[in-house]
Structure 1
Amino acid sequence: MTTEKKRSVAESRTDGSKAPRPKDAATLILYRQSSKNTEILMGERSGRHSFMPNTYVFPGGRVDASDGRIPPARDLRDDVMARLIRGGCTPARARALAVAAIRETFEETGLRLAETYPAPRRSRVAIWNDFGTTTCGPDLSKLDYIVRAVTPPSRKKRFNTRFFVADAETLEGTMKDSSELLDLRWVTIPQALNLDIPLITENVLGHLDTFLKTRPEPDANRPVPMFQMRHGKRIFAEE
């Protein structure tokens, strides 16, 4: 991570007060091919949320401490790991981010990105037993990594979010609303842009559209777009 990127994480607000340090978070964008269009899964955040309530987003959330202790059934692809490390992650943190994206998606939608373990195991974390850790665990190999975004310093809650994508054809489980994500729906990107979405989600949809149209080959050197705000200005960069 460059010095400039390190400074952006600890930036002060415009009133001179210190901005809260952003917490690591991860999002999973699921896509599928319908008869003619590519669709993505989005849902409405509950009005009980203090962060972006009643807006349509992708499944995702903050990294929990336990996410770093869950052994994946399959590891991240080498190129995905390399891009996450280039952005400042350790290999362990990169895996924790990917696990968090899969866990949050399961909690919010009931859908699993899973693969069978070599031998049965149980977890001390209840959600992973519900996921099926006695027989299967998170499959990180199905993930690609396309965008990173840091919440502006002016917000009371800040997140350093990595956006992953995965083909819904590999999913297991039955989709259902949750207390966190309501009105789950498959939409095209033009339809998504007509929903009540945060500004960052609109930006991510542009990069997602390019990704889905080009379907780039695995490449550790592929630039990762990064969005942040510094001194009141939106910064669009690459890492």
Structure 2
Amino acid sequence: MTVAIRDAASVMVVRRHAAGASVLMGMRGAGAAFMPSKFVFPGGAVDPEDGHVALARPLGTTCHARLLQEDGVSPDAIAAAALRELAEETGLLIGRPGGPPCDWPGHAGAILTPDAAPLIYMFRAITPPGRPRRFDAHFFVADAVDIAGDPDDFSAACDELSHLHWVPLDQAGALDLPFITEVVLAELSALIRDLAHDKPLSPPATVPFFDNRGPAPVFRQLR
């Protein structure tokens, strides 16, 4: 049976300080149909409603252009999905006051409009054939300084991810990770390796893309 490929979005929230960096991760349930018991970043499938969410600010020009390549889904919808999944799975919000109202529970309660501007697009991978679920996964990175509120407060998180915690980046490899998560973590490490902790994140020179749509896997770089 052919498994449809759904667009999905994940966000790596990175916390940087002079002594090093950490990234927010959680563990999927043992009964999950996709990647059970693995440590992952907050994320999930793009919902049709994500394309109708008003954003306080759009994605940056470079990230927006890269998401337009060979993708039928609106870049803003993918960014909105990343922000929604972050809010649902961790309780953490990236948003701004004073924008159009948003009826997502967390943002509505905080009177914040989801803000895509802090998201940096940095990786894309399509799940290989033969898996029970397949996703065209888009990975973003965001700085923890853009979280509205306490970055250690996960009290509003749903139960999709357990063991939510900030993992030191140099220790994340010791967790039980999906292969693609290991690859994305390596890209994240390279992105911030020579960046001072008080300097803003910026888009990478290219976005790696593992394309598994055809009979043979293809690796490309989105420019």
User: TM-score, normalized by length of structure 2?
Assistant: 0.86
The answer to whether residue 114 in structure 2 is matched with residue 138 in structure 1 is: yes
Q: For 2:154, which of 142, 164, 175 is the aligned residue?
A: 175
Q: Which residue of 2 aligns with 1:89?
A: 71
Provide the aligned C-alpha RMSD in A.
2.4
The answer to whether residue 184 in structure 2 is matched with residue 208 in structure 1 is: no
CA contact (8 A) 1:122 1:134 kept: no
Structure whose alpha-carbon radius of gyration is higher: 1
Q: Which residue of 2 aligns with 1:33?
A: 16
Quick one: distance in 1 between partners of 2:102 and 2:219?
Answer: 43
- Give 3-state SS (helix, strand or coil) of 2:7's partner: strand
Deviations 1:160-198 (A, max 9, x none): 000000001110242245310100111122311110000
The answer to whether residue 38 in structure 2 is matched with residue 58 in structure 1 is: no
1:120-159 to structure 2, matched below 5 A, reads 121=101, 123=103, 128-132=104-108, 135-159=111-135
Q: For 1:185, which of 137, 145, 165 is the aligned residue?
A: 165
- Give 3-state SS (helix, strand or coil) of 2:10's partner: strand
Alignment-mate amino acid for residue 36 of structure 1 = A
Q: Which residue of 2 aligns with 1:23?
A: 6
Q: For 1:223, which of 206, 210, 222 is the aligned residue?
A: 206
- Give 3-state SS (helix, strand or coil) of 1:132's partner: helix
Q: For 2:91, which of 105, 110, 135 is the aligned residue?
A: 110
What's the % identity of the aligned pairs? Answer: 37
Alignment-mate amino acid for residue 154 of structure 1 = G
Cα displacement (A) at 1:217: 7.3
Alignment-mate amino acid for residue 84 of structure 1 = L
C-alpha distance 153-195 of structure 1, shift in aligned 2 (>3 A): same
Quick one: distance in 2 between partners of 1:175 and 1:217?
Answer: 24
Cα displacement (A) at 1:78: 1.1
CA contact (8 A) 1:56 1:195 kept: yes
Cα displacement (A) at 1:137: 1.1
Alignment-mate amino acid for residue 200 of structure 1 = I
User: TM-score, normalized by length of structure 1?
Assistant: 0.81
Alignment-mate amino acid for residue 115 of structure 2 = D
Deviations 1:83-121 (A, max 9, x none): 111x2236x6100000000100110000000111346x3
Q: Which residue of 2 aligns with 1:162?
A: 138
C-alpha distance 147-186 of structure 1, shift in aligned 2 (>3 A): same
Cα displacement (A) at 1:207: 0.9
1:59-74 to structure 2, matched below 5 A, reads 59-74=42-57
Quick one: distance in 2 between partners of 1:228 and 1:190?
Answer: 28
Quick one: distance in 2 between partners of 1:191 and 1:217?
Answer: 21
Deviations 1:48-91 (A, max 9, x none): 31100110000000001111111001111111111111x2236x
Quick one: distance in 2 between partners of 1:35 and 1:224?
Answer: 27
Higher helix content, 1 or 2: 1
Alignment-mate amino acid for residue 64 of structure 1 = D
Cα displacement (A) at 1:122: 5.4
Alignment-mate amino acid for residue 93 of structure 1 = S
Q: Which residue of 2 aligns with 1:236?
A: 219
* Aligned residue pair count: 214
